[in-house]
Amino acid sequence: MSGDFTEIGRALPRKEDRRLVSGRGRYLDDLAFPGALHVSFVRSPHAHARILDIDSAEAAEMPGVVGIFTGRDLDQMTTRLRLAPPIEGLQPTELTTLPIDKVRFHGDPVVCVVATDRYLAEDAAECVSVEYDQLPAVTSITEAFAPDAALVDDSLTSNMVSHQSLCVGDPAARRAEAHRVVEARFSLHRHTHVPLETRGCVADWDDGRAHLNMHIGNQVPHPLRSQLAARLGLSESQVTVMSPDVGGAFGQKIALYREELTVAALSRHLRRPVRWREDRMENLMSAAHAREYECRTRASVSETGRILGLELEIDEDFGGYCFYPANYMARVIALIMTGPYRIQDYAYEVRVALTNKCGAGPMRAPMAITSWVMEGTIDAIARDLGLDPVEVRRINALGPEDLPYKMPTGELLEDVSPRETLEIAVDVIDVAAFRARQAQARAEGRYLGLGLCTVIESTTYGSEFYKSAGIPGSGHESAWVRIEPSGAVNASVGLMGTGQGYESPLSQAVAEGLGVRSEDVTVHMGNTDIAPYGMGSRGGRGATAGGGTLYLCALKARERVLAIAASMLDLNDAGGLRMRAGQIERMIGDDWQGTGLALVDIARRAYLDPLALPEGIAPGLDFSHSYDPPAMTYSNSTHACEVEVDPQTGAITIDRYLVAEDSGTVLNPIVVRGQQQGAIAMGLSGALLEQVIYDGTGQNLSATLADYLVASPNELPKFEILHHNTPNRRTPAGIKGMAEGGVMGAIGVLANAVSDALAPRGVTIERLPLTPQSIRALLREAAPSSTKRTQP
Amino acid sequence: MTAPTHDPLTLSLSVNGETHDVRVPARKLLSDVLRDDLGLTGTHVGCEHGVCGACTVLIDGRPARACLTFAAQMEGHEVTTVEATGRPDALSALQQALHEEHGLQCGFCTPGIVVTFEHYLRENPDPTAEEVRDVLSGNLCRCTGYQNIVAAVLKAAARMRGEAA
């Protein structure tokens, strides 16, 4: 199938680059709005406290100050966010636009100061005085679930905001009959997204038209518009969301945040444009955090390492507020945990805790911990039974003969190749040669390790997925394709890129379907008045949902174009016609030959001489299409990496990193490679360095980029990427989607490699990140006598 | 607490070879003056504490953080921003190589990287990959994993030396 494509699969450099590389991109702060007011938020210095009094009298008199607004004020201008989807075990939550009675984390926005300039707004914010009554802070899952814990959300009965479980088959019976029961633990730390461009928005209320123009870098412009309209009591016709160039998002720019709603409400209230750009400290403390999980597995295994049953417990620290249903991320982890392996007896229990920390949200690969947990469990089985970890993978891995495979949770895997990518990775990294080097190094007192991690990546979530999850919503996407009177091709879809580089690959999907060159297609995204209502960019859905819909829509357009061409050529039908690079060709004998007709001629006929169109064909060339992908599409990969750990300093060096990937049909290999590299980098950066740190009182200690460390080129290896792409038979053009699996694999493979390296010291990695300090602590704990200095 | 002085200063700034007279408060950052007062929005503000490197400009030909510099300090100095390096339809060798090698994704960090390496490659025309990584460590990129940026810098260096690449 893929061999027939002429535009899909071309290695086209990105259309966005010329403007971005020359400093001519237009990001939010580059847009000028004369007379715009600026806001600054007064934020809570406490993790948990009652708000007793707010005194803004002094600030209100300061130069440039236009207004100062509290939670009570905003409650008059906006409705509250109530999250109460009909999901068993999920407590309904409700929150105001700004807190009124109490704050729930260090950095919670309490007061909004509006002034003529950002400097003056910050001056005034410093002079607003808020009186608090501090409450005990809940700063861990254990504390949250303690019987006497303070309530983070006073309206709930406990801090366990969500609790679900599932049992399929008979894991208890498998445990009883197992040769061994192997237990393993995995603790992933709190991360945050760190887009280089922080959050921000410009709300421009048009008082004459009673219309809100909201300029905001956002992944999901239409759902955001729905939220904005609902929370402001406006109709969706009264709100336009416009997303300019966006400096990264990674899941952080999906929800309508309280600050953004505040800015929109104040623009309407003050009848002036109002703008906000959060600073880096606000971004690190208060935007959204992610990934804080404690997982435990119990695998019942045979003598050969075959997994007979698997039991999983997940606890998540969700922070102080629910901007998403609290089971949103953890549910997917539990759903796809068994991933690349043949397991049918499976049970999970998922508990989500509210704590006095920043609210959690999806971050590129919200299910990132999955692969570490599953692959770490495999390694634990190999260690326990004294087996080769490669063999334990082989004996359990899904092969072609197992497909399609229904996971115990009901998820269906088709057209995936986990055993094939495993074999490619094992072969190319040459495990046997590595083991010889490792033995030699160990004899010299050096610690080398090899990790493996196979990933099943859920990419595109169709409507059927949402229905079975109990979440009202759709997984469909819509598109339009228009051929203009000049033959120019415009198209649009409801996605919004935040740096991925959608313009080229989506042009390629249109160009393939229609029969033109990708260079001649322009795809318009990010304006809710121009783009059709779509579900936006999240997960790995851009290629399948967005690209797939555009491709199908362009096929529709091609059919019409060829029908018109047939009539212009006095043919009975378009059967022997095709369009390539905008030229109509006709099959004569065994050859495609030019007809002298081009798309521009068809367009001229459709717009300027419509009476000459064949009967039944309407004037113009305007097409739209909607497409709902399968319940779920999956990509897969196997990561392999070699590390060396310096026991003296705790430093980890990544000597080699490779990944064998199955991403299905690739729209643009340049963009896909970039996404693979970027995802791996984000995973490694998180596993090695990044960490949101709260102290025992709930103070955030990681609010600068000198404290929250993001990998530089010196920590990251060169990535070798091997391709084993198998198209999905159920999606347009065989597209699967990708871009998150790299994070999943990187976390797991690094942890497994370091465990392998430190095996002689009795160290197993159960907790990330792997900072030098944490490695040194593990070595001290494992062998206190050999490394601890004698105290004087 | 006394209110800070807001009285604007009149400054004469030399930016990209042109002289601009601006009236700005003494505390206004160079990054903000370039963006707000001179409309040079290619200089991006990513952290305002000198770590991320997105705001890198040249001051008298040497890379510096515009977010850690007051505009008022710049009288008598020459400031160069990304806008002086190529245009969308006439990219520099480095910009062209970044495009070809997919050395950028969201592009927010890119102007700082362009400015840093336009300078670096003039003084170091034949760097190794390791040297490029060392210099690049002053600019955070959250999207690419850096590999393609390193490749682009090496490619641009080769072209600037007149070698086929």
Of B35, B44, B140, the CB nearest to A710: B140
**Average of per-residue pLDDT across A79-90:** 93
Q: What is the DSSP letter of B70?
A: B
Rounded-to-5 percentages of helix, strand, coil across chain B = 40, 20, 45
**Confidence band (pLDDT; 50, 70, 90) for A3?**
low
CA distances from A650 to A447, A680, A685, A766 (A): 11, 22, 16, 16
**CA–CA distance, A235 with A206 (Å, rounded to integer):** 14
Q: What is the 3-state secondary structure (H, E, C) of A544-594?
A: HHHHHHHHHHHHHHHHHHHHHHHHHCCCCCCCCEEEECCEEEEEECCEEEE
The pLDDT, as a whole number, for residue B165 is 72
Cβ neighbors of A430 (< 8 A, separation 6 or more) are none
Q: Over 70: is that where the pLDDT of A790 sits?
A: no
User: Looking at beta carbons, which residues of chain B come within 8 Å of A672?
Assistant: none
* Minimal CA separation from B116 to chain A, in Å: 13
Angle between helix B147-160 and helix B110-123 axes, rounded to 10 deg: 40
User: Looking at beta carbons, which residues of chain A come within 8 Å of B137?
Assistant: 712-714
Amino acid at the residue B23:
R
Residue B93 touches chain A, beta carbons under 8 Å: no
Contact B143 A499 (CB under 8 A): yes
The pLDDT, as a whole number, for residue A749 is 98
Cβ neighbors of A275 (< 8 A, separation 6 or more) are A33, A36, A37, A38, A39, A200, A201, A202, A203, A263
| CB contact at 8 A, A735 and A546 | no
In chain A, whose CA is at the least distance from the CA of B143? A678
**Average of per-residue pLDDT across A31-59:** 98
| Greatest extent of chain B over all pairs of C-alpha atoms, in Å | 63
**CA–CA distance, A517 with A756 (Å, rounded to integer):** 50
Q: Encode pLDDT of A657-690 as tens digits.
A: 999 999 999 999 999 999 999 999 999 999 999 9
**Confidence band (pLDDT; 50, 70, 90) for A302?**
very high
Q: What percent of chain A is modeled with pLDDT above 70?
A: 98
Q: To which residue do tokens 């814990």 refer?
A: A149
Least confident window among A11-15, A128-132, A782-786: A782-786
Q: Over 50: is that where the pLDDT of A548 sits?
A: yes
| CB contact at 8 A, A290 and A251 | yes
CB atoms within 10 A of CB B122: 10
Query: Which of A551, A552, A555, A559 lies closest to A508 in space, CA to CA?
Result: A551
In chain A, whose CA is at the least distance from the CA of B89? A18
**Confidence band (pLDDT; 50, 70, 90) for B126?**
very high
Contact B35 A30 (CB under 8 A): yes
Interface of A with B in 60-79 (CB under 8 A): 62-63
Q: Encode pLDDT of A192-227 as tens digits.
A: 999 999 999 999 999 999 999 999 999 999 999 999
Amino acid at the residue A104:
R
Residue B13 touches chain A, beta carbons under 8 Å: no
* Domains of chain B with CATH codes: 8-84 (3.10.20.30), 93-160 (1.10.150.120)
* Domains of chain A with CATH codes: 2-23+476-627 (3.30.365.10), 31-135+195-249+253-287 (3.90.1170.50), 289-464+630-786 (3.30.365.10)
**CA–CA distance, B39 with B23 (Å, rounded to integer):** 14
The pLDDT, as a whole number, for residue A472 is 81
Residue B147 touches chain A, beta carbons under 8 Å: yes
The pLDDT, as a whole number, for residue A788 is 44
Least confident window among A14-23, A443-452, A468-477: A468-477
In chain A, whose CA is at the least distance from the CA of B130? A714
| CB contact at 8 A, A752 and A744 | no
Of B106, B133, B144, the CB nearest to A498: B106
- Paired with B70 in beta bridges are B29
Query: Which of A544, A559, A561, A557 lies closest to A493 in space, CA to CA?
Result: A544
Q: Encode pLDDT of A141-160 as tens digits.
A: 999 999 999 999 999 999 99
Residue B23 touches chain A, beta carbons under 8 Å: no
Query: Which of B88, B90, B96, B58 lies closest to B74 in space, CA to CA?
Result: B58
DSSP per-residue string spanning A423-469:
HHHHHHHTHHHHHHHHHHHHHTT-EEEEEEEEEEEEEEE-HHHHHHH
Contact A119 B28 (CB under 8 A): yes
Of A20, A280, A714, the CB nearest to B137: A714
**Average of per-residue pLDDT across B12-20:** 98
The pLDDT, as a whole number, for residue B5 is 58
* Minimal CA separation from A407 to chain B, in Å: 33
The pLDDT, as a whole number, for residue A785 is 47
Residue A18 touches chain B, beta carbons under 8 Å: yes
The pLDDT, as a whole number, for residue A791 is 45
DSSP per-residue string spanning A328-383:
HHHHHHHHHTTTTB----EEEEEEEE--SSPPB---SSTTTHHHHHHHHHHHHHHH
- Paired with A314 in beta bridges are A295, A350
* Minimal CA separation from B47 to chain A, in Å: 5
| CB contact at 8 A, A186 and A766 | yes
The pLDDT, as a whole number, for residue B3 is 47
**CA–CA distance, A2 with A551 (Å, rounded to integer):** 14
Residue B105 touches chain A, beta carbons under 8 Å: yes
3-state secondary structure of A504: helix
**CA–CA distance, B105 with B146 (Å, rounded to integer):** 11
Of B27, B134, B142, the CB nearest to A248: B142
3-state secondary structure of A67: strand
Residue B151 touches chain A, beta carbons under 8 Å: no
Read off the tokens for A316: 């998540």
| CB contact at 8 A, A381 and A299 | yes
Report which of residues A86 and A350 the model is more confident about: A350
Contact B107 A499 (CB under 8 A): yes
User: Looking at beta carbons, which residues of chain B come within 8 Å of A501?
Assistant: 102, 105
Best of B58, B116, B143 to mutate (most A CBs within 10 Å, chain A):
B143
Cβ neighbors of A41 (< 8 A, separation 6 or more) are A109, A110, A111, A112, A113, A125, A259, A282
Q: What is the DSSP letter of A151?
A: P
CB atoms within 10 A of CB A247: 30
Query: Which of A403, A388, A360, A376 lies closest to A312 in space, CA to CA?
Result: A376
Query: Which of A53, A201, A39, A41 lies closest to A109 in space, CA to CA?
Result: A41
**Average of per-residue pLDDT across A443-459:** 97
**CA–CA distance, A234 with A149 (Å, rounded to integer):** 40
* Minimal CA separation from A468 to chain B, in Å: 33
Residue A23 touches chain B, beta carbons under 8 Å: yes
Report which of residues A319 and A782 the model is more confident about: A319
Q: Encode pLDDT of A566-618 as tens digits.
A: 999 999 999 999 999 999 999 999 999 999 999 999 999 999 999 999 999 99
CA distances from A173 to A38, A98, A308, A623 (A): 63, 51, 10, 57
- Paired with A40 in beta bridges are A113
Residue A501 touches chain B, beta carbons under 8 Å: yes
Residue A35 touches chain B, beta carbons under 8 Å: no
The pLDDT, as a whole number, for residue A784 is 58
ipTM of the complex: 0.97
Report which of residues A87 and B125 the model is more confident about: B125
Contact B45 A29 (CB under 8 A): yes
Q: Encode pLDDT of A725-770 as tens digits.
A: 999 999 999 999 999 999 999 999 999 999 999 999 999 999 999 9
Q: What is the DSSP letter of A190?
A: P
Q: Is cis: bond before A92, omega within 30 of 0?
A: no
CB atoms within 10 A of CB A131: 11
Question: Quick one: CA torsion of B93, B98, B99, B104, rounded to 10 degrees?
Answer: -150
* Minimal CA separation from A229 to chain B, in Å: 28
**Angle of CA points A636, A641, A644, to nearest 5°:** 160
The pLDDT, as a whole number, for residue A180 is 98
**Average of per-residue pLDDT across A64-83:** 97
**Average of per-residue pLDDT across A313-337:** 96
**CA–CA distance, B115 with B85 (Å, rounded to integer):** 8
Q: Over 60: is that where the pLDDT of A771 sits?
A: yes
**Phi, psi at A533, each rounded to 5°:** -60, 120
* Minimal CA separation from B163 to chain A, in Å: 22
**Average of per-residue pLDDT across A270-299:** 98
**Confidence band (pLDDT; 50, 70, 90) for A2?**
very low
Residue A20 touches chain B, beta carbons under 8 Å: yes
The pLDDT, as a whole number, for residue B4 is 53
In chain A, whose CA is at the least distance from the CA of B113? A21
**CA–CA distance, A397 with A185 (Å, rounded to integer):** 22
Mean pLDDT score across all residues of chain A: 96
User: Looking at beta carbons, which residues of chain B come within 8 Å of A25?
Assistant: 42, 107-108
**Confidence band (pLDDT; 50, 70, 90) for A39?**
very high
Of A674, A704, A713, the CB nearest to B136: A713
